[in-house]
Chains A and B, each alone.
Chain A
Amino acid sequence: MSAQLAGEPDAGSPAGPAAGAATGRGVGQWAFFVGRKLLRLVVSLLILVTATFIMVHLIPGDPVLAALGDQATPQLIALRRHELGLDLSLPAQYFHYLQGVVTGDFGRSIVTDAPVSQLLATKFPNTLGLAIPAFVLVVLIALPVGLLTAIRTRGGRGRVTRTLFVNITGLLNSIPDYVLATLLSLIFVVAIKAFPAAGNGTAASYVLPVAALVVGPAASLSRIVRVEALKVLDAEYIRAAKARRLPTLLRYWRHVLPNMLTASLTFGGMILAGLIAGTVLVENVFGWPGVGTVIAQAVIQKDYPLIQGILLVLGATVLILNMIVDFVLGVLDPRSRMGAH
Chain B
Amino acid sequence: MTEVARKPRRFPLSTAIPLALLLLFVFLSIAGPWLWGTDAETSNVAVADQGISSAHWMGTDDLGRDVLARTLVATRSSLVLAVLATIVGGCAGVALGLLSAVSRRLGRLIDGAIGLLLAFPALLLAIFFAVLFGIGSVGSVLAVGAAFAPGFARITQTLTASVISKEYVEASRVLGKRPLYLTFRHILPNIGEPVILYSTIHIGTAVLALSGLSFLGLGVQPPSYDWGRLLNEGLTRIYTNPGVGIAPSIAIVLAGLTFNMVGERLSDILGGRTAAPPKLPSKQRGLDPAPARAETTGTTGELVEVRNLRVVYHTVDGVTTPVRDVSFSIAPGEKVGIVGESGSGKSMTASAVARLIDTPGRVEARTLRFLDADLLGHGTEVDRHLGRNMSVVFQDPGEALNPAIKIGTHLVEPSVIHQREPKPAARRKAIKALGSVAISDPARRFRQHQHELSGGMKQRVCIAIGLMGEARLIIADEPTTALDVTVQRQILRLINDIGEMTGAGLLFISHDIAVVSELCDRILVMYAGFVVEEARTADVFTSPAHPYTAMLLAASPDMDTDKSRQLPTIDGRMPGPGVDLPGCYFAARCPRADVTCTESAPPLRTLAEGHRVACWHPLTGAGAAGDDELTGVEAKI
Binding site for B on A (CB under 8 A): 1-15, 17, 19, 22, 44, 47, 51-52, 55, 58-60, 155-157, 170-171, 174-176, 178-179, 182-183, 185-186, 190-191, 235-247, 250, 254-255, 258-259, 273-274, 276-278, 280-281, 284-285, 295-296, 299-300, 304, 307, 311, 314-315, 318-319, 322, 332-335
Contact = CB atoms under 8 A, between A and B. Distances in A.
A32 B256 CA distance: 44
12 contacts: A2-B435, A10-B456, A13-B453, A59-B134, A174-B260, A175-B256, A176-B252, A245-B414, A273-B121, A296-B218, A307-B131, A334-B451
A140 B401 CA distance: 28
B246 interface: yes
Nearest to A171: B257
Interface residues on B, range: 35 or more
Interface of B: 116, 119-124, 127-128, 130-132, 134-135, 204, 208, 211-212, 215-218, 231, 235, 238-239, 242, 245-246, 249, 252-253, 256-257, 260, 315-316, 354, 356, 358-360, 380, 383-384, 386-387, 391-392, 394, 396, 399-405, 409-410, 413-414, 417-418, 432-433, 435-441, 444, 448-449, 451-454, 456-457, 460, 462, 465, 467, 486-487, 490-491, 493-494, 497-498, 501
A241 B498 contact: no
Given A1-B435, A186-B238, A236-B399, 18 more contacts: A4-B438, A5-B437, A9-B440, A22-B452, A157-B359, A170-B257, A174-B208, A236-B400, A240-B400, A242-B356, A243-B392, A244-B387, A250-B417, A254-B409, A259-B402, A274-B121, A304-B131, A311-B127
Contacts of A55: 128, 131-132
Contacts, number: 241
Given A237-B399, A276-B121, A335 B315 contact: no
A286 to B, nearest CB: 10
Contact of B124 (A12, A277, A332): A277
Contacts of B211: 176, 179
A281 B123 contact: yes
A238 B360 CA distance: 17
Given A47-B116, A332-B404, A300 B218 contact: yes
Given A44-B116, A236-B400, A185 B238 contact: yes
B394 A239 contact: yes
A300 B245 contact: no
A154 to B, nearest CB: 8
A1 B383 contact: no
Q: Is the interface of B mostly helix, strand, loop or mixed?
A: helix
Given A14-B453, A174-B260, A299-B127, A245 B252 contact: no
Nearest to B462: A240
Given A190-B239, A239-B356, A299 B218 contact: yes
Contact of B315 (A156, A176, A258, A334): A156
A174 to B, nearest CB: 5
A5 B433 CA distance: 11
Given A4-B438, A245-B386, A277 B123 contact: yes
Contacts of A241: 402
A98 to B, nearest CB: 19
B356 A243 contact: yes
Counting chain B CB atoms within 10 Å of each CB, which of A5, A12, A247, A322 scores highest? A5
A259 B384 contact: no
A255 B402 CA distance: 7
B360 A156 contact: yes
Contact of A179 (B238, B239, B252, B435): B252
A124 B134 CA distance: 25
A182 B245 contact: yes
A237 B401 contact: yes
Contacts of A307: 131
Contacts of A277: 121-124
A296 B392 contact: no
Nearest to A275: B121
Q: Which 5 A-B pairs have the closest CB atoms?
A: A245-B387, A277-B121, A236-B399, A258-B404, A6-B494
B457 A13 contact: yes
